[in-house]
Structure 1
Amino acid sequence: MAINKLSEVEISSAIAQLAGWAVVNGKLQKNFKFRDFVEAFGFISKVAIVADKMGHHPELFNVYNKVTIDLTTHDANGISALDFELAQKIDRLL
């Protein structure tokens, strides 16, 4: 099944439903801040489990208590509905 890149209008509509996510350099991005490194890394582990079950793997960046997540669908060459689905699941982990 082909995954399609969303249009700018579709992205604008979908992003309005999410808190704290933005399009940065063509990727859906959100920054998270935790109490310490262990809490941040625990969150990354939870994200990894959810993402792997979806077969959709985000770009995860961690510096001490900060985590940045970038979502894009390489097969679609941009942001797809799959990215928004994962973003919603990530937000539910908090």
Structure 2
Amino acid sequence: MSKLSEDDIEKRLLQFPDWEYYDDAIHAEFEFENFKDCFSAMSRIAFECEALNHHPNWFNVYNILTISLSTHDANGVTSRDFKLAEAIEAIVEPDEE
């Protein structure tokens, strides 16, 4: 998997308004109602990570989840990171029906 150019990353980020690119990774922070809801989302994200065999750097304090994605083998951001970001978005911000 090859590392995306900064231009490609910025273009793809237009679809992910909660995410930012810096330090060779894409980053987002999500706030939940409480710790239980945050941990529940983390558990669902963990299953997606395993399915994609791609794991984030993440940090949790009470109801805040901070996530950083980069592909370590490529030393930067790849399409794999955006695939996981898309799955994360579907979990933390499901479409209203």
Q: TM-score, normalised by structure 2?
A: 0.91
Q: TM-score, normalised by structure 1?
A: 0.94
Using the alignment, how far apart are the partners of 1:31 and 1:18 within structure 2? 12
Cα deviation, 1:48-90, whole Å, max 9, x if unaligned, reads 1001100000111100000001000001100000000110111
Which residue pairs with 2:51 in the alignment? 53
Name the count of aligned residue pairs. 92
Superposed CA RMSD: 0.8
1:13-92 correspondence runs (5 A) = 13-92=11-90
Q: Letter of the aligned partner of 2:49 in structure 1? A: A
Deviation above 6 Å: which 4+ runs of structure 1?
Answer: none
Any unmatched runs of 5+ in structure 2?
93-97
Q: Percent identity?
A: 38
Using the alignment, how far apart are the partners of 2:43 and 2:28 within structure 1? 16
Partner of 1:41: helix, strand, or coil? helix
Partner of 1:93: helix, strand, or coil? helix
Using the alignment, how far apart are the partners of 2:65 and 2:15 within structure 1? 21
More divergent stretch after superposition (76-85 vs 21-30): 21-30
Answer yes or no: is the 8 Å Cα contact 1:26–1:79 preserved in 2: yes
